Homo-oligomer: A and B are copies of this chain.
Amino acid sequence: MAQKKISFYYKNICEDIIGSEHGISQSQLDDLAKKTGPAIEEVNRQRKAGIIPYRDLPYRKDYPKQVKEAARQIRGECENFVVLGIGGSALGNIALQTALNPYLYNIDSRQRKGPRLFVFDNVDPLQFGGFLDWIDGQLDKTIFNVISKSGQTAETAAQFLVIRQILMDRLGPEGYKQRIVATTNAGKGTMRAITSEAGFRSLEVPDGVGGRFSVLSPVGLLSAAVCGIDIDALLAGAAAMDKRVSETDFFANPAAVNAAIQRHYYQRGKRISVMMPYSYALKDLSDWYRQLWAESLGKRTDLDGRQVFVGPTPVKALGATDQHSQVQLYREGPNDKVFTFLQVDDFGRDVVMGDCPPSAPELGYLAGASMAKLLNAEKLATEYALVKDQRPCLTVLFDSICPETIGQFIYLYETTTSIAGLLLHINAYDQPAVELGKEATFALMGRPGYEQMADKIRPFTKQDSKFVI
């Protein structure tokens, strides 16, 4: 059987299809090829120089081995596996689970091949409190995987301090440590110190790999392996895509073509990039993409001595659902978006509609039809309606949804982001603007050393009744 793959399809951005005002001509494509060539080579160079180590994750032998060994143990020890993390320590885990495990995984024990999975990426007292009410009484059947490179991320640290105390109170200072697995920096930092002191089992967050590029490391792989996902196949998919996105021939490199098209439209005023999977399973991949794209490309930069604010806004949508929510705007609102559909060729199962009621012959066209056929017809129909209104449309086509194709997709978009960062003249790997909010949180929580910041914030936090209705 040939390996399942994904393809990138870009005809519906061409001027023959959507007209010359919004479409791209062959000579513009040739121009994009010329301008993007150096970026492809620079990314390849950075990769060889070890500057972007996320690119090597598909080839690491140590991580999958460690993860599979930990997963084997954990699967024997729990009925619930709970990830405590946020941002890059949560979105990849969620995306893999939604993509590769059944819709009712947590509800239907017959449909799952591992423990229930929960991923908490917030500090909401109602949400987390509701969870604590339920988990109470089965703590000895639950393992918590706290994921934080440093251990200082306030949300994850807060969740951890709640869980740690409950486990210590219930299972004693010795017993509790079997219930926590830490994924954190190998040699230093707050969570590493806690882990060494307490004797937790642990895995490593690789050096030099930012959270949003870490899903193919132990950060994203452990929960996947615990829940029965074939992580070797996932990594093999990423490695297969590696060859394609390293290709120096622009027109043979889907990451380069994707990045160049996205940048072309961004610079021509289409500042919104919509990703719309026609598949529930793929919906959280677009949430993962949303972080990757926004945090990597949303950057203040200096251009010829002028301060510039750069960054397309990623938007997640879901087909066919959002046809009844967003498509009115997508067609008749400003032509300020580029659309990327995710389409699945073979869902691997189907649901067939029954007979038509005698009183409703107008539904006859659906009788005996299948949901897979309808869903894909809706994708084509929506795309048709959009191109009729000169809106540019891209498609990532999945042969099927399996670890191999999901690995390909992740690696395609990570590399697309690297190339897009170069094309936009920004650093795709930092996130300087997140700092001020973190510091302001410390100040408001009374962390020592942040008293001056607290003084600065105070005038903004007091509600001024003149502006309250």
Contact = CB atoms under 8 A, between A and B. Distances in A.
Given A446-B365, A460-B384, A461-B380, A290 B326 contact: yes
Contact of A9 (B133, B291, B441, B463): B463
Number of copies: 2
A161 B352 CA distance: 9
A309 B337 contact: no
A125 B372 contact: yes
Contacts of A10: 467, 469
A444 interface: yes
12 contacts: A103-B127, A110-B133, A123-B375, A124-B347, A128-B371, A161-B367, A168-B354, A271-B334, A295-B328, A298-B328, A313-B336, A323-B434
A343 B72 CA distance: 42
A155 interface: yes
B381 A444 contact: yes
A211 interface: yes
Nearest 5 pairs of A and B residues by beta carbon:
A165-B354, A298-B329, A87-B324, A311-B333, A381-B440
Given A111-B130, A298-B331, A311-B334, 14 more contacts: A7-B469, A91-B325, A103-B131, A111-B133, A121-B324, A124-B281, A129-B349, A151-B363, A271-B334, A309-B332, A312-B333, A313-B333, A381-B438, A384-B457
Given A355-B165, A366-B158, A469-B257, A384 B437 contact: yes
Given A298-B333, A326-B290, A469-B251, A442 B359 contact: no
Contact of A321 (B122, B196, B211, B466): B122
Interface in A134-167: 134, 151-155, 157-158, 161-162, 164-166
Contact of A360 (B134, B151, B388, B439): B151
B328 A126 contact: no
